[in-house]
Amino acid sequence: MVIEAIGRRLRLAVVGGGPGSIIGEVHRTGARLDGFYDIVASALSSDPERSRRTGRAIGVSEERAYPSWRELIESEANRKDRVDVIAVMTPNDSHCKICTLALDFGFHVVCDKPLTTDLTSAVSLADKVKATGLEFCLTHCYTGSHGAPSPSHDPRRRDRLHPPDSSSIRSGVPRL
């Protein structure tokens, strides 16, 4: 387990999923229930003051409740106690640019679906994940047909694209 391997929980930053977002609360609750993460940094809104205020409201320290996702990534990259993982739960059209920057700065990523909004950017992002060797997890609530859980459904499961390749994206089924 991760705690035994590194001697602590993983430090998690959450991007998006602020006030009024159902999925943000679901992700934060899931991370807490997993027991493997401490939420230590956030950028929860595109409004800078609201982002800071709501970050503090969920228990993030004032210095790590960031006004924007870009500032979170750039600032955390320079910290000695930087986050280990960045979870992205923003509007769909922003997933790719946020994940790309996080990977550029050497962060592992957990991204809400969809990965991107077009095949070209999906392939580009998959190539970047492969080149960095970092973990990239794409979240799914249910698998199987018509939204019904499959017999092997585990609510804590994160499908991992490691190493990703374009064939796994084209088929819609990530390589595990």
Residue 84 belongs to some domain of the structure: yes
Domains: count for the chain:
1
Q: What is the CA radius of gyration of the chain?
A: 16
Q: Which two tokens stand for residue 49?
A: 């003051």
Quote the mean pLDDT of the chain: 83
Give domain status of residue 9, yes or no: yes
> Is 85 contained in some domain?
yes
The pLDDT of residue 107 is: 98
What pLDDT score does 2 carry?
A: 78
- Specify the pTM: 0.79
107 domain residue, yes or no: yes
Whether residue 176 is contained in a domain is answered as: no
> Residue 93 belongs to a domain with what CATH number?
3.40.50.720
Domain containing 11 equals 2-171
Confirm whether 157 is domain-assigned.
yes
Contacts of 33 (CB under 8 A, 6+ apart): 156
Residue 43 in any domain: the answer is yes
Between 168 and 91, the higher pLDDT residue: 91
Query: Is 116 among the domain residues?
Result: yes
pLDDT digits (tens, 9 = 90+) for 116-171: 999 999 999 999 999 999 999 998 764 433 333 333 444 444 444 444 444 333 33
Position 141 scores a pLDDT of 60
Q: How confident is the model at residue 34 (pLDDT cuts 50, 70, 90)?
A: confident
